[in-house]
């Protein structure tokens, strides 16, 4: 169950992304891939959402997934992932032609269950922290769960 504090602060934290402000620190808690695809926008969006359902079923650490934005025509999907401790990670998927840039990143040092954490994370944007590979693992599992034939080798 996600706290009210986290639900209210997630959109703000995802928009501001204080943990991503410093380029040399963001690499500690983010991961990106580029996929080559062979599918229409509708097929790709459906495949991503189906893969997300599989990812949710495989999740054994108690994360909460919220599909925040789906823009099929623009080729953009944003998914909020609140971890068991209510840290906010975001998955962003942006399609351009037959290439897709997929990113997963942590948005702040403090979990959003703490009142005013989205403001405190802006104060502590410079503090380094690690995601212990969770963002990379999440994207790998999402890619593996995609429908066959959508991703090109």
Residue 153 in any domain: the answer is no
Residue 149 in any domain: the answer is no
Residue 98 in any domain: the answer is yes
Question: The domain that contains 99 carries what CATH number?
Answer: 3.30.530
DSSP state for residue 20 in the 8-state scheme = G
Structural domains counted in the chain: 1
- At residue 152, the pLDDT reads 67
Question: pLDDT truncated to tens, each residue of the chain (153 aa)?
Answer: 799 999 999 999 999 999 999 999 999 999 999 999 888 889 999 999 999 999 999 888 889 999 999 998 888 999 999 999 999 999 999 999 889 999 999 999 999 999 999 999 999 999 999 999 999 999 999 999 987 777 765
Residue 47 in any domain: the answer is yes
- Please give the Cα distance from 82 to 25 (Å, whole number): 21
- Please give the Cα distance from 3 to 97 (Å, whole number): 39
Per-residue pLDDT tens digits for 81-115: 999 999 999 999 999 988 999 999 999 999 999 99
Containing structural domain, residue 40: 4-144
- At residue 30, the pLDDT reads 96
- Please give the Cα distance from 72 to 105 (Å, whole number): 22
Say what the pTM is: 0.93
- At residue 153, the pLDDT reads 53
Residue 150 in any domain: the answer is no
Task: Determine contact, residues 110/120, Cβ cutoff 8 Å.
Answer: yes
- At residue 129, the pLDDT reads 95
Residue 44 in any domain: the answer is yes
């Amino acid at each position: 169950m996600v706290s009210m504090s986290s639900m209210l602060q997630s959109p703000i934290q995802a928009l501001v992304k204080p943990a991503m402000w410093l380029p040399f620190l963001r690499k500690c808690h983010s991961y990106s891939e580029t996929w080559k695809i062979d599918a229409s926008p509708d097929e790709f969006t459906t495949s991503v959402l189906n893969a997300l359902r599989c990812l949710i079923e495989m999740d054994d650490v108690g994360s909460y997934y919220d599909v925040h934005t789906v823009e099929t025509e623009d080729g953009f999907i944003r998914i909020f992932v609140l971890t068991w401790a209510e840290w906010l990670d975001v998955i962003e998927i942006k399609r351009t032609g037959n290439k897709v840039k997929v990113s997963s990143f942590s948005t702040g040092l403090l979990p959003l269950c703490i009142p005013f954490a989205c403001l405190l994370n802006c104060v502590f944007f410079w503090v380094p922290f690690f995601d212990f590979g969770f963002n990379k693992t999440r994207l790998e599992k999402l890619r593996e769960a995609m429908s066959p034939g959508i991703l090109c080798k």
